[in-house]
Every structure is written in C-alpha cells, then in structure tokens.
Amino acid sequence: MTLPASNSPLFHRLAGQPGELPDIVLEAGGLGSSDDWRHVENLLARHARVLVYDRAGMGDSPADAAGFGADAVTARLAALLDRLQWNRPVLLVGYSLGGLYARHFAASQPQRVAGLVLVDATPVAHVFPVAAMRHAQRVIWLLHWVARLGPAGLLQRLFGRKTDAARFRRQLAQLSAPDYLPRMRGELAAMTGVLSEVGRIAAAPRHPVAAVLAGTPPAQMTDADFAHMQTLHRELASVSPAPLSQLAVVEGAHHSSLVGDPAHAAQVAEHILAFARSLPRTPEHP
C-alpha cells in the first residue's frame, strides 16, 4: 500500500539501547495510545531498545487520508522503521486489537520481524458484539465531554490518582481535542474490516509466537466466552513455528490490568524478555 504524500509522521518514543536482544516494537490496543505501555516500556528498556508509537488518529498522531485499516497501519509502521533506520528484524508486541495489527505486519513484512508477542490479543475468529461496540462509543463520548467540561478532580479519579501530572495533562489534551470523537469512531468502525484483512493473509503465523494471557475474564464476559478466547490463543500458539512458540498466563490479571497495573505489567515484561532471549540473533534485512 502506498500512503498519500501528505501522510504525517507518527508520534513515537524511543527508549533503551540496541544490544544482543532484538529491538522491540510495542503496538497499543484498540483506541489506545503509546501511554498505555509506560509500565512495560520502562522495564523492557533496561535490556533492549524499544519503540512505542501512536497509530495514525490515535494518541498524539494525526489522522490521515489512508484510514484505519490494517494495510494502512502496516505501511505506516514500515515507513517509520525506515525513517529510524531500524534494519534488524524486530520483536513485535501487540496488545488486544494491536495483536491483529502486529500479525498483519508480520505477514506483510516477514523479513522485518523476528517474532511476535500477543498480549491478550484479539483472535482473528473474534466477533465484536454490537452491544460492546455501542458501549465503547458511549464511553468515548463520555470521556470526551468530561475532559472538555468536567472538573480536574473528577478527571484525576477517572485516570487514577497515581497518574503523573505530565501524563494527565497529555491525556486531557488528547481527550478534549475537537477531532477526538471522529478519530475514535474511525478506528471502531474499522475493527471488523481489520479482522478480515488479517484473516486473509495471516491465518497461520510464520514467526515464533508467544501469547501472554490474562488469568481473569473481564466483568462483561461469560466464563464460556473467556474459555473460548483462551482456546483460540492456545490454537494459535500451537500452529506457530516450534519449538520457540510459547504461552503464559498472568494469574489474577484481567485484560486492562495486564498493561495498566504495575505488578501485572512487570510479569508481562518478564515474559516478553524471556521470549526475546530465546530468539536466535538475526542479521539485518536487505
């Protein structure tokens, strides 16, 4: 896919130094941003070079005419890696919906990927319930208007009292931006199409895969649906190249706390690093 000439550079952040481990790229979940990775990023950066970025239209990256589909996300990330001159294959880590984008990138740009870590990632076989999509739309509408009109104390409670001041101001600016609602709706509307795009080219991964799962189902998910989601992840790991592919469960964690809770995020980071250490060192791609 060729991006329009007006495509704006993506907001990104680099941490750590290149070394023996592969460079690591962190892909945020649906409607998420690079800020969601703060706990994991800081721990990984002690051992490897880490890139975290905002997809176009998310966080601090402006939207562009190419839209929110997986083809566009892959093309933008490839262009960003080119600009950064990251020539070694990367370990690509995708959280939630970001797991689908990570799988699409790996299938489209196999020479640029050493392995995949899917953190409670959305399976290709997943069907987004209409009720859940409507709930997400209501939540983003509420967050936007509370950010624009609400008192700072209420917002601080929404984000959590431990949120540092700089991050709080950045989140407030993002949520209150006039184009926040159409950007969020754009990614929501693209989700079903992303499932199709990934299913078309990435049914069976060609790279080693590590799946890191939450041990506790979300409040709105039945035990049966949760068990089915875990089965889909295990099946994905089982068809990935052996013997490096693996699966781990963070007991006591739920979907959001995997990256949002410092203790759970520390376990996720340890699983990512353990997987990175198991991968053979790869030469730079052409």
Written as one string, the DSSP assignment of 199-259 is HHH-SS-SS-EEEEEESS--TTS-HHHHHHHHHHHHHHHHHSPTTT-EEEEETT--TTHHH
Q: Using an 8 Å Cβ cutoff, are 284 and 87 in contact? A: yes
Tell whether the torsion through CA atoms of 44, 198, 6 and 78 is positive or negative: positive
The answer to whether the pTM exceeds 0.85 is: no
Could you give the domains of the chain?
A: 12-130+191-278 (3.40.50.1820)
Res. 99 pLDDT band, cuts 50 70 90 = very high
Residue 148, Cα to own-chain centre: how many angstroms?
26
Dump pLDDT digits (tens) for 27-83. 999 988 999 999 999 999 999 999 999 999 988 899 888 999 999 999 999 999 999
Q: Using an 8 Å Cβ cutoff, are 40 and 32 in contact? A: no
Residue 220, Cα to own-chain centre: how many angstroms?
21
